[in-house]
């Protein structure tokens, strides 16, 4: 739970789907009309993530964001740490994409759209090493893999975005996926 609070129930978006402008880099857009500014910013995050555009991606976050990867994986707290995470992701995997799954993915929202969850696909070719042993962000099994430029990841991921509705920015991201399936995909014979 973020900050030790109880979870807020996430609900499917009510109402019939509404035709919205296409967003080819992130997949289908949830049916909301009009689209609130905080959610537009979330879509921008996905576009910048998939384009590996670090400067613009960082503009979608609050001044003190945090990102957690899996339940026991590394946690990145603060602007510099989160920037270091995305820089490392973009140098380790090329291209790296995070896209909603399915033709009509289920975007889950809480009542004020400050928490949004969606099942996504995380994919990319490993071309570089992850944080090395002895560094603060060392995280096996990924850190122990020596890339050969021939192995890719293609993982189901649950991504939860916590939004600051006063600034219309993302304040926290939690990405849950199977790190050991990642290891199997990146070390397969």
Return d(Cα 186, Cα 93) in angstroms, integer.
11
Domain boundaries, the chain: 33-187
How would CATH label the architecture of 33-187?
Roll (3.10)
User: Cα 81–87–90 angle (5° rounding)?
Assistant: 140
pLDDT over 70 percentage in the chain: 79
pLDDT at site 110 = 87
Q: Place 5 in a pLDDT band, splitting at 50, 70 and 90.
A: very low
For residue 184, how many other CB atoms are within 10 A of its CB? Answer: 12
Return d(Cα 51, Cα 86) in angstroms, integer.
12
The whole-number average pLDDT for the span 148-162 is: 94
Query: Which residues have a Cβ under 8 Å from the Cβ of 160 and sit 6 or more positions away?
Result: 115, 116, 117, 173, 174, 176
Q: Place 141 in a pLDDT band, splitting at 50, 70 and 90.
A: confident
pLDDT at site 13 = 45
The whole-number average pLDDT for the span 114-134 is: 93
The yes-or-no verdict on residue 33 having pLDDT over 70 is no
Q: Place 40 in a pLDDT band, splitting at 50, 70 and 90.
A: confident
Pairing verdict, β 11-12 and 115-126: unpaired
pTM given for the model:
0.80
Write down the mean pLDDT value for the chain. 82
Query: Which residues have a Cβ under 8 Å from the Cβ of 184 and sit 6 or more positions away?
Result: none
The yes-or-no verdict on residue 16 having pLDDT over 80 is no
For residue 168, how many other CB atoms are within 10 A of its CB? Answer: 16
């Amino acid at each position: 739970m973020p900050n030790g609070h109880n979870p807020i129930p996430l609900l499917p978006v009510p109402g019939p789907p509404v035709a919205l402008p296409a967003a080819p880099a992130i997949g289908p857009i949830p049916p909301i009309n009009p689209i609130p500014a905080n959610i537009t910013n979330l879509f921008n995050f996905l576009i910048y993530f998939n384009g590996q555009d670090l400067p613009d991606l960082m503009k979608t976050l609050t001044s003190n964001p945090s990102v957690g990867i899996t339940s026991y994986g590394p946690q990145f707290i603060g602007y510099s740490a989160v920037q270091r995470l995305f820089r490392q992701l973009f140098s380790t995997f090329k291209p790296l994409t995070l896209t909603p799954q399915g033709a009509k993915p289920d975007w889950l929202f809480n009542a004020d759209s400050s928490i949004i969850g969606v099942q996504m696909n995380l994919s990319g070719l490993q071309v570089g090493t992850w944080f090395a042993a002895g560094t603060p962000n060392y995280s096996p099994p990924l850190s122990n893999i020596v890339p050969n430029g021939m192995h890719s990841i293609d993982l189901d991921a649950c991504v939860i975005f916590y939004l600051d509705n006063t600034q219309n920015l993302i304040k926290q991201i939690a990405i849950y996926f199977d790190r050991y399936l990642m290891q199997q995909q990146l070390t397969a014979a």
